[in-house]
Structures are given as C-alpha cells and as structure tokens.
Structure 1
Amino acid sequence: MTYSIEIDRKWQKKWEETKLYKFHPENVDKKLYCLEMFSYPSGAKLHAGHWYNYGPADSWARMKRMQGYEVFHPMGFDAFGLPAENYAIKTGIHPLDSTMHNIKTMEKQLKEIGATFDWDYEVITCLPEYYKWTQWIFLQMYKVGLAYRKKAPVNWCPSCKTVLANEQVVEGTCERCGSEVTKKDLTQWFLKITDYAEELLKNLDDIDWPEKTKMMQRNWIGKSEGAEIEFKVEGKDINFKVFTTRADTLYGVTYVVLAPENEIVDKITTDKYRRNVEDYKEYAKKQSEIERLSTEKEKTGVFTGAYAIHPITGEKIPIWIADYVLATYGTGCVMAVPAHDERDFIFAEKYDLPIRRVIKGKGDIEDSLPFVEYGILIDSGEFDGMKSEDARIKIVEKLEKEGKGSLKINYRLRDWLVSRQRYWGAPIPVIHCEHCGLVPVPEEDLPVILPYDVKFTPDGESPLKKNDEFMNTICPKCGRKAQRDPDTLDTFVDSSWYFLRYPDNKNEKEAFNKEWINKMLPVDKYIGGAEHACMHLLYARFVTKALRDLGYLNFDEPFKSLIHQGIILGPDGNKMSKSKGNTISPDEYIDEYGSDVFRMYLMFGFAFTEGGPWNDDGIKAIHRFILRVERLINSFLESKNNESKEKFDKDEKELNFARHFAIKGVTEDAEKFQFNTSIARLMELVNALYKYDTNVKLKNLKLYEDVIKDLMRLLSPFAPHFSEEMWEKLGYEYSVFNQKWPQYDEKALLRDVIEIAIQINGKVRGRLEVMSNADEKEIEATALSNDNVKSYIEGKKIKKVIVIKNRLVNIVVN
C-alpha cells in the first residue's frame, strides 16, 4: 500500500459512519472548546490560507482529544455581507441562492480536510433561525440604551450610491469601483461600545492573547488622561471645549483648530472667509479618516476669520479649521501649541502663525523646538519654574475654580456604526411610527424576515426601501400604519456572538440557554487572522460584556486564549493573488499526495504564527517521510515473526531515550502551536527506529512494538488518515484517536552515557562520552587525556579547566 487520497476517503467515511468526533454534552466537565474563525462562503475552492487555519488547529484539537478532553469543535459560515450582493448586481444570481450553493461546496471541501468538526452544531448566519437572535440581541441593547440612532457623517461612494465602511475605503477611493469617496450626513444606528472602553482596556491584562494584538486594541481604544478646557468665541455667545493631555502648555497656545465638520464652524465664520471655508469643507469630505490622521500627509487648513479668548490670559487667538482634526474624536476642537507639538509646529510654520515657547528642558537636555517632552515652565505667569508634571494639574485646578476646565479621561474609541444601506444583512428590528416614534419589533414577532424579492440596483437608498410589502407594517404600539427600518445590520454584528450560538444552535426558544452556555464558554482556544484585532475581536468582547450585564451569561471574556496563524505566500515570496499568478491550489497536491502530506507540510514547512513562501520541494520531502514511516511499519511486521530478546542493553536504552524525548518534545511544542518542531521530533524518532531496526539483529520486540505504537499515536494528529491506516495494518482496535496520548518518563531521559563538548579557549575542539554520574574531577581527567585535546594543548600552559556538568568542558590555555 502507498498512502493516497483513496485512504483519505476511506477513513472520512468511517469517521462519519461511526460518529467518532461527536461531542458528548454529558462530559461537559471535561470540555475543551476549540474554535477557528468561521469563513465567508465565497464560492472559490478552499485555498492554502483556509487549510493553514483549519488543518493545524484540527491537529491541536486531536491531540487534546487524546489527552482526555471532550473537544467541542464546531464549524459554520459568516454568510451575510457585501460580496454576495455585489455578485448579484453583476450576475443577477440572488445572494441567498449563491451563498447557499457556496456553503454546500465549502461543507464538502471542509469535510475533505478530515477535520474533527461536529457538523451537528453548524451555524449559518444568513438563515432566519440564526439572525432572529441577532435581531433579539440588538433589541436587548436598544432597551437599555446601548443601541441608538443619530445623524452622523459616513463614507459615501457617488458611483455605487452607497455607504462604505472605513475598511472599504482605500486611499480615499471606493475599493469596488475606484471612485473618489466623499462624506455624507445620514441618520444611522450605533451600538454604544464606548460605555465599555475602560473595561475593554483593563481586561486585556487577564487574557492569553498575543501581546501585539492586545497592544493594537489598547491603541484603538486610546485612553488619554487629561483635561477639558473651555474657550469663548470673541463677540459671540458661543463657547467650545478642547481636550488636552498637556495643560502645562496652555500659555503657549497661539491658535485653535476645529474639525471642518464641527457644527459651530458655520456660526463663527465671517463673510470674508466663508467661501474659503466652504471650499475647504468639501475638500475634507473627500478624505478618509485614516488619511486625515496620517503623520505623513501634509497639513492643510483655512482661517475662519473668528477669534477665541484665551481662558487665562484673555488674549485673542485665531480660529482655524484643518483636516487633521476629526469631529468624531474628542471634542472636535484642538488648542494648538506649535512650540511643543510636532503637528502644530509644522502647521504654524506653513501658515506663518506665532510659535511661543513655554517649556524648557530640565538641566542640559536638548530642547530645540518643537520640544515635546516634559520640562520646566517659562512665560507661564504664576506657574513659571514649575515642573510640567505638577503644572498640568495646578493649571486645571485654577481653571476649575473659574468654571473654565476640568480633569477628563478621553478615549479614541468611537461608538460602533452598525446600520448599512444594503440588502444582504439582518433587517434592523425597529418600526418607525409617525405617532409613536421608534418602536422595537415585539420579540414574539421575530425574526423580521429578509424578503427574497428585492431589486439590488444601488441608487443611494437601502434596497429594502423599494419593497412595499416589507416596508409597510402596523405599529405594535398604536395599531396605525407604520414603516419598517430599511437598513440592515453590519455583518460584524452577526459574528460578534456566533461562538455563543454554536453550543445551543438548535434552541428555538432563546439565543442560548444561560446555564448551558456558562458551562461551555469561554472558548478555550480561538484561532484566526490578526487582521481582525480591532474589529471582530473587539466587537465580540463588547457584546459578551453587554450580554453579561443584561444577565444572559456570567463570564467576562469570550476567548480565553487566542493564536494567530501567519500567511502562506506564493513561491515568489509575495501574497498569493490570481493577478500575480502565484496562487497555490491545495487540490492538485491532495490528488497527488493525499491530504495528510499537504497538512503536514503546512505544519512543518512554516512557523505557524509566521507563515512564509510556498516551496514544492518541502511537500515532496514530507511525502518521502510518510513513505519512510510506512516502510518502517512493514519492516516491524516482518520482525514480529522472529525471536526476541527481553533485556535492555545500550541499543534499547538509546531507542527508549529517543521515544520519551519525542513524546516530551512533540507534546510541549504542539501545545504551543509550534508544529514544525513537533514534526522534527517525530522525524528524529523515526531515524532512531530505523537505526534500531537496521543495527540490531535480535530485537526486544516488546520495546520495538511499544515505540511503534507511540510513534503512531504521536503522528496521528498530524497525519490522521495515514495513521488510522497504519494502526489498522498493525492489527490494533479502531480508532487510533480513541487511544490515550503517550506520557514520557523522566527516568528514561536520564542516560548512562552522555556526550559533552570539549572547548579550548572557548572554541569547540571535540566531543567526549562520559558516564552521566561522573564527577567534575573524572570529567576533567578524561578530557585532558583525549588525544585530540592533547594535540591542541601540547607545549601550552593550562590556566584552568571549567566543567559545566552534562554540557561541556572548557580548557583555558596560554
């Protein structure tokens, strides 16, 4: 027999027939919830990226199953979203039809991986039995004010005639059609994630996540401790507040800057400057927030003609508008201190605005402008000579007494805009009544079904708005005619709670049973891409905390432990792309080598969290390894017919050492998702078995068989189909995955004879075998009597001999 795709099919059929991977709820006390981020049913075949996420994660789950855990390993589909709708516009194929067709294809492909998914727990987010509960969660948030509606500026594509999320804007243009994106004020639905900003920040310390991901969330939440200071507009009954973390620089303010969208801009702009201001506001609308905040982009702005009054000195300060200030961050107003802020300094130099130093460096520190560090105050009235750290508090205390300022904590995080003017999403379960206002759909009337018969041609309004049958309804409060909300929910709302639905996916009475979900969650190991750090992962944490506060669950965090897979690049070292012609299709390799070879190459050829460029030679090497293991099994089966010795001599001790060294290494490294080194340990064990098989004529068959059995158990998570086949060939009871994971013996790792390095003046000049219990004097004497060492030290004076037990001897000579 040679391992092939037929063996894959044989064992996939057997696993399905015997329900080998079925989750047993009665064993929930031993549960381990392993979850990969579910995929979007794109219709394309599974690519190397899918395999790299699902294959190695499945190997980890298999190992945990053999270690005695009741592994819960579900799979489903994040099935709503813009791609299916755009596909419908292009081809006329309805999103529901194309999505469900693609799901069937991907279900088949995912099963061909040979993963341990229990398909009884599948969720598909575009089906009413799922999105009913997405709508229900929205309503629970609405009841307590966590969901609300307000007018807000959004990204608008004039060609597609639709709202775009920030991630759909690329360098100021629509990612779909390339048109220049502008801003448009629309009334939108938001979820109040900002209420949880502090807890979202604080709890990052308590979860086992990559530090880089935690840092990205910390930066996204963006906590700043500072002060709000009030400025008055000269000659008008208008005040505005600025947020600053550097109140110690207040005396250095020489102008203030408002966001172009700030509502007071129109009220304060003078007639002389109105045309300039209007033109600039249009210019700013065409830029994404990412562009506006870029440190590399040249700073621009215009003068409004208005002045503010400095809250302490009473000085008149010009008011400008500039695109580097956002209306949605802080107060939308900034006090500019060009001497002590790099961005303000560049802006002031460009527009010839005053630059006034009010902080000097402590001691001999270099303090050329812009000087942005803490220092000693100068030209700051009564605060001269005070340290910045003290002055930032004292100045605010003075302002507080006069009613012009207060200490304030600010966050960069903004509320989550969840409404979309598109079709393929969960309808927002709210009714608009002329008499009652906003009325939530009664829970007993959920789900609000997404209608099938809808025109997708985008014209600036939600496609649902054109469907009279959907839109026209009765107000549940007053019984009069009313209209449904025409918008759908952002698909990130669907994925913000799917992990809660999996364990209770057939529950028709509630989103999930509280008692059961508290036993099953949090997820023990979550695997997926790092690109979701500041969207999905943040939203999922927020929704979990909100549901906890609403009394529906008891835990604080959805994912205990998180790991990100790297990216498999094309053979040319670039990201895989059809246009570059460097994509790798798993199918051709699986057809030729079988899925286990493909899976093992992904785990051996790359560090899991890093990825790297594809290499055909690597997969061929793994194929040779699999064939080598098969030959070893055949040789062992032939040896079973021969006589056997029982005693452990040197050869047996070496083999037993290799066995337990492999068990220890494979287990510890696979636990940390370091699969490449786990497989390297397996290769070392196979080498040791070949050495024993070749060199020892009269074998200890019991030891030989025990090591072969351990090899197959260790190999089984990485090559599940092949290992099942070999296990059956060896005559053992089905299934290898019902076997216990091998345990290593520390005593077997203690060798009678060990090899140590001999160094002369720090350079390795040879190796030496000594008894493991030899003392330092014995080791020194043995080293000095070594012929190779003698040739290096002849005629030289030995200054000292350093013995590091079990590792090396270093002989220092003149």
Structure 2
Amino acid sequence: MEKYCPQTIEKKWQKIWDETNAYQIKNDPSKPKYYVLEMFPYPSGNLHMGHVRNYSIGDVIARYKTMNGFNVLHPMGFDAFGMPAENAAIKHGVRPSDWTEDNMANMTRQQKEMGLSYDWDRKVATCHEDYYKWTQWLFELFYKKGLAYKKKASANWCETCHTVLANEQVIDGKCWRCDSTVVKKDLEQWFLKITDYADVLLKDLDKLKGWPNRVKIMQDNWIGRSEGAQFSFDVPEYNEKISVYTTRPDTVFGVSYVVLAAEHPLVKKFIKGKENEQEILKFIEEVHNMNEIERTSSESEKKGMFTGVYAINPFNGEKVPVWVTNYVLYEYGTGAVMGVPTHDERDFMFAKKYNLPMKIVIQNKDNSLTLETMENAYVDDGVLVNSGQFTGMNNRKAITAMIDWLEENKLGERHVNYRLRDWLISRQRYWGAPIPVIYCPHCGEVLVPEEDLPVKLPKDVKFETGATSPLAQSEEFVNCTCPKCGGPARRETDTMDTFICSSWYYMRYADPHNDKMPFSKEAVDYWLPVDQYIGGIEHAILHLLYSRFFTKVLKDAGLVNFDEPFTNLLTQGMVIKDGSKMSKSKGNVVSPEEIIKKYGADTARVFILFAAPPERDLEWSDQGVEGAWRFIQRVWRIVLSYADKVKENQPFDKNALTKEEKELFRILNVTIQKVTEDIGTRGTFNTAISTIMELVNAFYTFKDGNLNAGLAREVVINLIKLLAPFAPHVTEELWQQIGQKGSVHHTTWPTFDPKATVADEVEVVVQVNGKVRSKIMIASTATREQQQEQALADEKIKGLIEGKTIVKVISVPQKLVNIVVKG
C-alpha cells in the first residue's frame, strides 16, 4: 500500500486545480446561486492561524454547497490600502506599492497551499487603479446625493499614525490600530452622512435573522436611538437661548444648573471680559484634549467652572447658573445638558463637588426620599413632587404630558436623538484612495470629472517620520487645472479611510473586470446579497455597519435591488495558545506554514475545524494536530485496503448483508444524515468531523477485507465525499485511487435513507431503585409493555428482585426501565 505523503499529494492537486481553473465560476441563472465570503485580509505578509480558521470554515461551506448543486461564488482579494504599508516605506525605504504587492503574492501562495476553492480570476486588490477608480466614483455618487461634505471639526487624532480617526476607530480612548492615546484636533475633514440612514440601519436589524444577536445589539447600542424633548433655556442678558435635549423631561422641575460642553460656541461669548476668562479658556483647552471615554465615564471625575451667566427654566421661570464642564460632549445632542442632581448620577456627583442646590422631584413609592439621606441620585420611577401642575403624576406618564405642554406653548418639541455621528473619512496619509475633489479659487469645490478617474497616487512622494499628508508635498499631484473654468487649481490631499474600500468590495467580486461601472446590475442582482459571510466580531461596528450603510445608499441610487449585504453572518472565535490570543508580541504564534510543512494542509484544516465550534475560541493543541494527522492516515489506509473491491463495481444488495454489515450500513446512513445537518443547518463542523470519525471506527471492524463488496463501495465512496469539504487534497487523491472519474468536489453530495437510520435493536438500561443493574437489547419496534417484560425477564434482574414487592415500573421507550421495589 502506498504511504500517505501529504506534501506530494497536495502539490499535485493544487497544480491540477490551478491549471484547469477548477474553481472558476460563471453566472448561470439556470442554477440556484450561493455566495460564501470570508472577510478579505490586509496583506501583512503572512497568514496566521486565525486566517486558517476563517478560510477553512468558508471553504467547507463553499465545497458543500457546490456538491449540493449550487452555483457557488467563493472569491478572495486584499484590503490593500492602509498605514502599515506606508510605515514600511518609512522604515525600510521601499514603495508602499512594492511592499503591498510582495505581501499579496506571498499570501496568495499560502492560501493556495491551504487548498482553498477560490475563483482567483475574480481577485480584487483595493490599491489597484481598476478598483480605486470605482471607490472614487462611489464617493462622487455620495457627494452628488448630498451625503459627502467637508467641514471643520474637532477630530480624533492619533499622533503615532499621524492621521485622524472615525469615532468607531477609537476603542477605549485609544487608536484601534496602534493602541496609542487619541487626542482632539480641529481640522477641515470630509464626512459621509451615515446619520441620514440611522433610522433604517436600526430598523432593518430586525431583518437580519441570520446574524448573531450580540452583533445586532452592538450596532443597536452604537446607533443609540432615543426619544425625548428638545427645548431652550433663555439667557436674557445675552439675548441667547441654550437648547437642550433630554429623555427625562419629567425631571425638569429639579434643574438646578445648566452645563455646556467646553466646545460649545456660547461659552466664549458668555465668558468674554469676565474676571476668570483666561482661567476658563485654560480649562477648555484641558477638556479639549481629553478623550470621549474619560469625559463620559460615570467613574471619571466631573469638573466644571461657572460662567457667571444665568438661564431661565421655561417650566417654572427659575434662574439657574450656567457652567462649562468636562462631562458633556458637543457632538452629542445639543452640547448642553440640564443638571438634575437628584435624579442623574453624573449630575449628583457634580453638584456634590461644587455644592450646587438640589431638589427632589420624583418621590419613591414609600415616600421616604429626603435630601438629608440621599447618597446617590434616585433614578427609578415614582410620583412627581414639587413639579407644578404635574405634581402627583406617575413620572412615566408625565413625560408625555410635559412634551405635550411644550408643544402646546410652542416652547419645544418631541425629538429623536442618535448616538451615531457622521463618518469621518479623511486620512492624512498617502497609501489610500485619493479623494477626487479639486479646489478652484473661482469655482470653489469641484468634483473630478468621471472620465478623468481615477485620480492616481503620484510616485514622487517622500516618506518621512512625523510628516503629515505626504501627498501635500507632491507639487505634481497638488497643482492641477480646474475642470470647470480651466484656471489653476489644487487637489484635495487627504485620502479616504480604508473602510470605504471594504464597504463595497463584496459587490465588485460579482463583476470584477467591468471597466464601465463598479459592477453591472445584472451580475450583482444574480449574486448578491452574500448568503454566508464569515469574519471576526471586532468588525461588528466598523466594517459591518459601514457596509450596511453603503448598500442602502446604492439601493436608493438604483444600483442594487437588495437592502442588506449579508444574509447570514458567522463570527468565528479566536485561536488561543497558552491562555491568550495568538500574537507575535506574546511569542505564542504557530505558523500555518510549519504545520503544513510537517503534516499537510488537510491536517491543519481538520484540526482547526474539529477542535471547537466555529463561533467559540479555539485552544491550540499540538496533541490535537497529531490526532487529526492520525485520523487522516486511518482514512487513507482503510480506503486503499478496499480500493480493489470498489473498482469491481459489484451491485449492492441490502438483503444480502450480515447482521454486522447491516449495522455498518445503518451507521453510514446516520453519518450522512448527521454530517448533512451539521454542515448545512447547524454549522457545527466539529461534530460533523466527529461523526465521520465514528464511521471510520465502525469501518475498521472490517479491516481484514471481509466485507460485502457492494457495501464496501457504498461506504468508501460516501466516506470520501463526506470528508471532501474538510480535507480536499487527500479525498481528491483517494477518489482517483479507487478508480473514479473527475473531481470528487464536483460530484453530488451523499443522500441517506431515513428507514436505514433506524437500528433493528437498541440497548436499554435496566435500573433497580435507580441504580443501573443490567443492560438488555430489545427490538427497536418493541412497545413499552414488551420492553418492561423483557427487563423483568432478564436473569440478573430476576435475581435482584426475587422475594421483593414491585411498587412500580418506570419505562422510557428505547432507553430505560427503572423497577422500584421494597422489602
């Protein structure tokens, strides 16, 4: 028998697949389509075990769906713009394009070594001109629809990366990429109006039945829709109004001060010429450099300064002081908040610190709330007190009544607010898609004409540590002609956030060579939406929210006919080693290349799919890899031992089987049923592999070759097919070794006979007073009464109950009989 040599087998089949374009797919409306997609990688240079897990999951689904008759789109590409390439240019003196291309070539080689069934003809790289031309075209579409605009804004700035960041890219006050502390900086920036779609992004979460709940909850919280009232506090001294938004108008009679965000434009007006003007300006600067997490956390210290100005509460006419504080953000709501110390924890902390007045306006049910005994704000429901004509009302009912009163008196209105802010897309870096805008002293802001796209990245840039916006240093790039008037003009030197590129790439795969449009409607209508998307939970808000936004805009523009991009979402767990996530910094990385070199790609795939359910974290185990290797060797040996019998092509007669052979046939049918459900319905690949292992164990009881030839053929052919999605190389080789034509991956998926899954006999446990005393085999068709009779007739049981009184007999059909006796 040939020895199993994965290195030889895998190279052989990878070469055949490549030369025959085995996985190249065409649009075929006569077949049902299935689009499976793993999130494309950043070309960092090497795959890690997280990639192996992600891609193996997708490949199993793609191969399984193909064998089930679907026309399967399974593409791959690279999210190829971004700061690491630029940082490499600074560090090593290479062009970002060269660094990126080398890494893409290396990662493509590694992906092919894993035996992944990608249609490489559809590969996209976001840094290629034929891709970012359409990224720029889509920016212009957003601009024409009023969804892209530029404004001066206080932005999140990462000093290490030398660029601004979107709110979604600041994690706990730190840069999502380099973990440096983020500060605020005032800059002219480009934004996309994602807030215009806040309501539909929230509402349509209900459509995502195939998404994990925790991802939907994260998006719901990030969008942060709230309903409340918006009204104003008059400042007569300055003839100004301070607009506030609150979800708790029921507490308005308890307002004892109003706070403004440090960035609020009224602050400088209110403090101008005051004694403490410079002191407050210094405080504003300090607050400006705090990150949002610090400012909004309930744990952080609340600081503020009195502006010397008073405002009028519209509900009761009371004058309240106006403060500037560190715990209100100008970007959220109106940038001003009414302070109700007795019924808001942050306000309580602030008022205690500065000895501001307090008034209880919601009383608890036992009427025991007093200022003297209050140690925290009372935030539960109750009855209004000290609240004018609303006194005595339930506070929840009072919310509606108070907003009605505001609207009747034309003092305010019902209002919906969102936590979500517009998406800041400007980046002060070189390696990104240039924003296609020209600034003309006569014509103003002008889009680059579509026929002139793409705006290409220049080659004459210098990469210096600490330099901001390398594009701004390229005279060839900056200086241009106005498309409208023909006069001298200058280009925008910011590039787009890389998340713009990844917000639509899944659509380009449907039509990657189109040079007239980003994609044809016909192609995208056939393939999209993505049926199964696979990637990490860390993209729950960033990439997944942005992609949903893009899809909705493109649907409104008539370019697509679906409104959600990903029907089903699987967020795979991390790969853990020595108790923590694999990472270079922790020194616990296992290279896929090491595993493939020693054991082969099939072993790597089987281990990583068997070791844990896809959505759970996976603990790396060298013993587990060895186990997967041994399992594939067992399959190899048993299949080849029956290869000649399979080639005989003997007819299969179920009636000619022995009792033992009938049981193997039953196990085969149960395996087909279970593996089909595990892959196709449950997505539990670990249990699917476990079931195949049980079939192999049962097959090994006939390792001497003494097995009905027809049954041997049934078992071998179906075993290879069942294992094919998991271990594509060895199954392809075995398929050839047993004399089959074509590729196993283009055969049909096995079917099972439901009747054949039922055992002739089942094992039943027999207990006496709850303790297991015997096990009996009974006919699978036996009634409850027959099961009990057989249990009572068992020799072991008869001896145990002799001379005792049977109180009752409890029987669970096909499983258990418990005889309760006394005496």
**What TM-score results when the alignment is normalised by the length of structure 1?**
0.95
Change (3 A) 1:406 1:796: farther
Matched AA of 2:639: I
Q: Which residue pairs with 1:223 in the alignment?
A: 225
Change (3 A) 1:401 1:733: same
Are the aligned partners of 2:666 and 2:757 in contact in 1 as well (CA < 8 Å)?
yes
Identify which range, 757-766 or 641-650, moves more after superposition: 641-650
2:770 and 2:193 map into 1 onto residues whose CA distance is 63
Matched AA of 2:38: E
1:305 Cα offset (Å): 2.4
Are the aligned partners of 1:172 and 1:286 in contact in 2 as well (CA < 8 Å)?
no
1:476 Cα offset (Å): 1.4
Q: Which residue pairs with 1:703 in the alignment?
A: 711
Q: In the alignment, which of 3, 23, 26 is matched to residue 24 of structure 1?
A: 26
Task: Let me know the Cα RMSD of the aligned residues.
Answer: 2.3
Change (3 A) 1:498 1:175: closer
**1:782 equivalenced with 2:785 (yes/no):** no
Are the aligned partners of 1:166 and 1:288 in contact in 2 as well (CA < 8 Å)?
no
Q: In the alignment, which of 635, 638, 642 is matched to residue 629 of structure 1?
A: 635
Q: Which residue pairs with 2:214 in the alignment?
A: 212
Matched AA of 2:692: L
1:159 and 1:668 map into 2 onto residues whose CA distance is 49
1:301 and 1:3 map into 2 onto residues whose CA distance is 72
Change (3 A) 1:170 1:656: closer
Deviations 1:585-619 (A, max 9, x none): 11111111110001100001122111222110001
1:640 Cα offset (Å): 6.4
1:543 and 1:644 map into 2 onto residues whose CA distance is 57
Q: Which residue pairs with 1:726 in the alignment?
A: 734
Change (3 A) 1:185 1:669: same
1:530 Cα offset (Å): 0.8
Partner SS for 1:448: coil
In the TM superposition, what are the counterparts of 1:258-269 in structure 2 within 5 Å? Answer: 258-269=260-271
Are the aligned partners of 2:811 and 2:818 in contact in 1 as well (CA < 8 Å)?
yes
Q: Which residue pairs with 1:604 in the alignment?
A: 610
Matched AA of 1:65: T
Q: In the alignment, which of 675, 678, 689 is matched to residue 679 of structure 1?
A: 689
2:90 and 2:185 map into 1 onto residues whose CA distance is 23
In the TM superposition, what are the counterparts of 1:234-245 in structure 2 within 5 Å? Answer: 234-245=236-247
1:792 and 1:249 map into 2 onto residues whose CA distance is 75
Deviations 1:187-232 (A, max 9, x none): 1111011111111111111121111101100001111011112111
1:797 and 1:285 map into 2 onto residues whose CA distance is 85
1:181 Cα offset (Å): 4.2
Q: Which residue pairs with 1:119 in the alignment?
A: 120
Identify which range, 396-405 or 640-649, moves more after superposition: 640-649
**1:482 equivalenced with 2:489 (yes/no):** yes
Q: Which residue pairs with 2:309 in the alignment?
A: 306
Change (3 A) 1:226 1:5: same
Are the aligned partners of 1:454 and 1:467 in contact in 2 as well (CA < 8 Å)?
yes
**1:296 equivalenced with 2:299 (yes/no):** yes
In the TM superposition, what are the counterparts of 1:337-376 in structure 2 within 5 Å? Answer: 337-362=340-365, 369-376=376-383
Identify which range, 321-330 or 345-354, moves more after superposition: 345-354
Are the aligned partners of 2:640 and 2:737 in contact in 1 as well (CA < 8 Å)?
no
1:305 and 1:502 map into 2 onto residues whose CA distance is 61
1:242 Cα offset (Å): 1.3
1:110 Cα offset (Å): 1.0
1:455 Cα offset (Å): 1.7
Are the aligned partners of 1:419 and 1:489 in contact in 2 as well (CA < 8 Å)?
yes
Change (3 A) 1:202 1:383: same
Structure 1: runs of 5+ lacking an equivalent: none
Q: In the alignment, which of 769, 773, 779 is matched to residue 781 of structure 2?
A: 773
Change (3 A) 1:195 1:178: closer
Change (3 A) 1:760 1:48: same
Deviations 1:314-365 (A, max 9, x none): 1121222222211111111111222112222222222222232111234699
Matched AA of 2:93: G
Q: Which residue pairs with 1:423 in the alignment?
A: 430
Identify which range, 217-226 or 323-332, moves more after superposition: 323-332
Change (3 A) 1:28 1:443: farther
Are the aligned partners of 2:162 and 2:428 in contact in 1 as well (CA < 8 Å)?
no
**1:588 equivalenced with 2:594 (yes/no):** yes
2:367 and 2:631 map into 1 onto residues whose CA distance is 65
1:295 Cα offset (Å): 3.1
Matched AA of 2:222: W
Partner SS for 1:304: strand
**What TM-score results when the alignment is normalised by the length of structure 2?**
0.94
2:443 and 2:420 map into 1 onto residues whose CA distance is 33
Structure 2: runs of 5+ lacking an equivalent: none
1:371 and 1:769 map into 2 onto residues whose CA distance is 67
Q: Which residue pairs with 1:619 in the alignment?
A: 625
Q: In the alignment, which of 413, 419, 431 is matched to residue 420 of structure 2?
A: 413
**1:323 equivalenced with 2:326 (yes/no):** yes
Matched AA of 1:236: Y
Are the aligned partners of 1:651 and 1:692 in contact in 2 as well (CA < 8 Å)?
no
Q: In the alignment, which of 556, 566, 569 is matched to residue 562 of structure 1?
A: 569
Partner SS for 1:504: coil
Partner SS for 1:331: coil
2:811 and 2:643 map into 1 onto residues whose CA distance is 46
Q: In the alignment, which of 648, 659, 672 is matched to residue 657 of structure 2?
A: 648
1:171 Cα offset (Å): 6.1
1:807 Cα offset (Å): 2.7
Are the aligned partners of 1:660 and 1:748 in contact in 2 as well (CA < 8 Å)?
yes
Are the aligned partners of 1:801 and 1:809 in contact in 2 as well (CA < 8 Å)?
yes
1:533 and 1:91 map into 2 onto residues whose CA distance is 34
**Count of paired positions:** 810
1:786 Cα offset (Å): 2.6
Change (3 A) 1:167 1:148: closer
Are the aligned partners of 2:603 and 2:625 in contact in 1 as well (CA < 8 Å)?
yes
Are the aligned partners of 1:230 and 1:404 in contact in 2 as well (CA < 8 Å)?
yes
Deviations 1:759-804 (A, max 9, x none): 4455544432111111111111112223444455456543322222
1:182 Cα offset (Å): 2.9
1:705 and 1:160 map into 2 onto residues whose CA distance is 61
2:37 and 2:492 map into 1 onto residues whose CA distance is 34
2:621 and 2:334 map into 1 onto residues whose CA distance is 53
Partner SS for 2:581: coil
Percent identity, aligned pairs only, is: 50
Matched AA of 1:776: R
Are the aligned partners of 1:28 and 1:70 in contact in 2 as well (CA < 8 Å)?
no
2:206 and 2:791 map into 1 onto residues whose CA distance is 51
Change (3 A) 1:709 1:170: closer
1:515 Cα offset (Å): 2.1
1:569 Cα offset (Å): 1.1
2:142 and 2:120 map into 1 onto residues whose CA distance is 31
Are the aligned partners of 1:59 and 1:717 in contact in 2 as well (CA < 8 Å)?
yes
Change (3 A) 1:232 1:793: farther
Are the aligned partners of 1:48 and 1:585 in contact in 2 as well (CA < 8 Å)?
yes
1:159 Cα offset (Å): 6.6
Deviations 1:544-598 (A, max 9, x none): 100111111111111111101110012x111122232211111111111110001
Q: In the alignment, which of 691, 704, 725 is matched to residue 701 of structure 2?
A: 691
1:197 and 1:583 map into 2 onto residues whose CA distance is 40
1:765 and 1:333 map into 2 onto residues whose CA distance is 75
In the TM superposition, what are the counterparts of 1:471-550 in structure 2 within 5 Å? Answer: 471-550=478-557
Are the aligned partners of 1:802 and 1:810 in contact in 2 as well (CA < 8 Å)?
yes
Q: Which residue pairs with 2:278 in the alignment?
A: 275
Identify which range, 208-217 or 168-177, moves more after superposition: 168-177
In the TM superposition, what are the counterparts of 1:34-183 in structure 2 within 5 Å? Answer: 34-43=36-45, 45-157=46-158, 161-166=162-167, 181-183=182-184
Deviations 1:673-731 (A, max 9, x none): 2111000000010011112445x84x321012101111110011111101111111111
**1:397 equivalenced with 2:404 (yes/no):** yes
**1:752 equivalenced with 2:747 (yes/no):** no
Identify which range, 652-661 or 265-274, moves more after superposition: 265-274
Identify which range, 84-93 or 561-570, moves more after superposition: 84-93
1:461 and 1:804 map into 2 onto residues whose CA distance is 75
